[in-house]
Amino acid sequence: MKNLLLISCLVFIVSCKKENKQKTSEHFTIKDSLNSHEFSDSLSLKNNLGSVDDIKREYNFVNSQLLAKKLDSVKFDYQCEERTGNVVYYSEKGVLKMIKHFNADSHYSTVENYFVNNGKPYFIFKDETLWSFDGGTPEKPETKDDITEKRFYIVEYRPIQCLEKKYTLQSSAKNNPKSENVLSKEIKNCSIYEVQKTFNLLMKNKDSKGDIKCL
């Protein structure tokens, strides 16, 4: 009976984790310590994205457009074996500005945001969550989320700065850390091979009609 109750709790927690992560990804904001005011001009129109500061200003501008719901969007869902996901393409007057990609399986989920200029990524934000049981009882299990955030600043397919922050959220804790209060560490000799490979798949499927099986 206890085993049956534990299995029921596990299924419920997995379902809630996926649903909460999807809801979070739908309300997109960049969790970074940047100025929050809107920018009245887009640097990408001037092809002037050659530094980290330029990139920050540009994705802040695009983010303000997203929050104001000024960008058009199309999306599709997919299910590939045990992994499920969804992709949203945001554009302005037919010009692609950002791609949001969410995917998850039983204990892992990730949200990737690709900011795009002239069909190329200039900033990628990746938010990974790995959850596990962390004590409690079969009737009331406790969990923890190990969060890893990565930020890639890119010029012509080359990373000019890569940052990472890690922290843990516990269901039993009263005061969990907030992303904005966790210091980022620079990743030395970082590679964008994996995120670039995913980006290429997202671009390949950008004109897909309806849901698909795998990217």
Contact between 165 and 184 (Cβ < 8 Å): yes
Tell me the Cα Rg of the chain. 19
**pLDDT tens column, 117-155:** 999 999 999 999 999 888 878 888 889 999 999 999 999
Residue 187: predicted pLDDT:
95
Total count of residues recorded for the chain: 215
Centroid of chain to Cα 127: 5
pLDDT per position as a tens digit, 152-161: 999 999 999 9
pLDDT at 20 over 80: no
Instruction: Return the number of other C-beta atoms located less than 10 Å from residue 71's C-beta.
Output: 18
Strand partners, 108: 130
Per residue in 74-112, pLDDT (tens digit) is 999 999 988 999 999 999 999 999 999 999 998 999 999
The pLDDT value given to residue 41:
53
- For residue 63, the number of C-alpha atoms closer than 13 Å in the C-beta half-sphere is 22
DSSP the chain: -HHHHHHHHHHHHHHHHHHHHHHHHHS----SS---S--SS-GGGGT---SHHHHHHHHHHHHHHHHTT-SEEEEEEEEETTEEEEEEEEEETTEEEEEEEEEE-SSEEEEEEEEEETTEEEEEEEEEEEEEEEEE-SSSEEEEEEEEEEEEEEETTEEEEEEEEEEEEETT-SS---GGGSPPEEPTT---HHHHHHHHHHHHTTT--S-BS--
Q: Which of 199, 39, 49, 210 is nearest to 119 (CA)?
A: 199
- Mean pLDDT, the chain, integer: 84
pLDDT tens per residue across span 159-199:
999 999 999 999 988 999 999 999 999 999 999 999 999 99
Between CA 210 and CA 195 the distance in angstroms is 24
Predicted confidence (pLDDT) at residue 11 exceeds the cutoff of 50: no
| Domains of the chain by residue range | 2-34+42-204
pTM of the entire predicted model: 0.81
Confirm if 62 and 97 have CB atoms less than 8 A apart: yes
